[in-house]
Amino acid sequence: MLCAVITGLGFATAAALTASGPPSQYDLLFMSARSGDSEVYRMAAGDTTWVNLTRHPARDNWPAWAPDGERIVFQSDRSGNLDVWCMRADGSGLTQLTDHAEPDYLPAWSPDGRSIAFTSWRRDSGDTARAPHLYLMRADGTGERRLVAQSLATSAGLQWSPDGRSIVYSRGDGADGADLVLARADGTHERVLTDGARRGLYHGFPTFSPDGKWLAFSTTDSVGTALEVMRVDGSQRRTRLATGKHWYAHWSPDGRWLVHTSEVAGSGGDIDVFATPVAGGETVRLASSPKREQEASWRPARPRAKRPASR
């Protein structure tokens, strides 16, 4: 049971995972406040050593791997305002990609690595009110433009389908509810996948499975935040973790596991990084400290080099 895992009555740690546990061949990227402020950390495959990639007194968080696993985007207020930044996977080559008076945050790479989406409160021509919208820019920070005309009405971001043809995001109803929306990659032909907003449910943080056929997402009600999965057409919906609070799920490259942030029961609000098998089984803890750990994802699988043809 999840409660037994999270309350400390018995859980596996990253150092004790077996071959049947979460994949250990991929680097783990996440945010932690263990040093007193939020920093981006990387834990190398097969290792338990935490490497601080950002090392700055500002808030650095929401890291996301580039599709090739060689670069990382994240949000930071180190320039005085929340903006999108990029660095190499080892923390070098730091580059600021956005620079606006309004907050720019929640960056996400396109599958081809050429574009980065983000959420911003900036106003465009014709806007009558300040509100969060989805934006798109080239990977070098140029060519910023609004992607979806209608406001999200909630501080959320988007995720691309693996083939780059679709995007999924959460849109609020102006109160406490929000639903998942599937659209074409250009922001058109929106289709609402859930119907929880009218009942006060908040569906958020959707991510595609590696094969593009499934979505993982969180559903928040008055009791907690469940971790759910469903087909991209909204069918075959099922709850993976029903008790507690769980956010920011990302799939393992093999599609068998979800890495997510969960509140530690009885801790007074502490959150750590966990992994849960999609098909069912024990939840295990991957990153933990007396502070908060969250927003984790595994490094994308790299294609194997082709062997030269035998002569």
What domains sit in the chain, N to C, each tagged with a CATH number? Answer: 2-298 (2.120.10.30)
Q: Which alpha helices (DSSP H) does the chain contain, by range?
A: 2-6
Chain-centre distance for alpha carbon 262: 13
Which residue, 216, 278, 301, 290, is CA-closest to 32?
A: 290
pTM across the whole model: 0.90
Residue with tokens 């969060």: 132
**What pLDDT digit, counting tens, does each position of 127-157 carry?**
999 999 999 999 999 999 999 999 999 989 9
Helix (H, G, I), strand (E, B) or coil at 214: strand
> What does the angle CA 243 – CA 249 – CA 252 come to, to the nearest 5 degrees?
120
Rg (CA), the chain: 19
**What pLDDT digit, counting tens, does each position of 237-269 carry?**
999 999 999 999 999 999 999 999 999 988 888
CA distance 193 to 157: 16
**What is the structure's pLDDT at 270?**
95
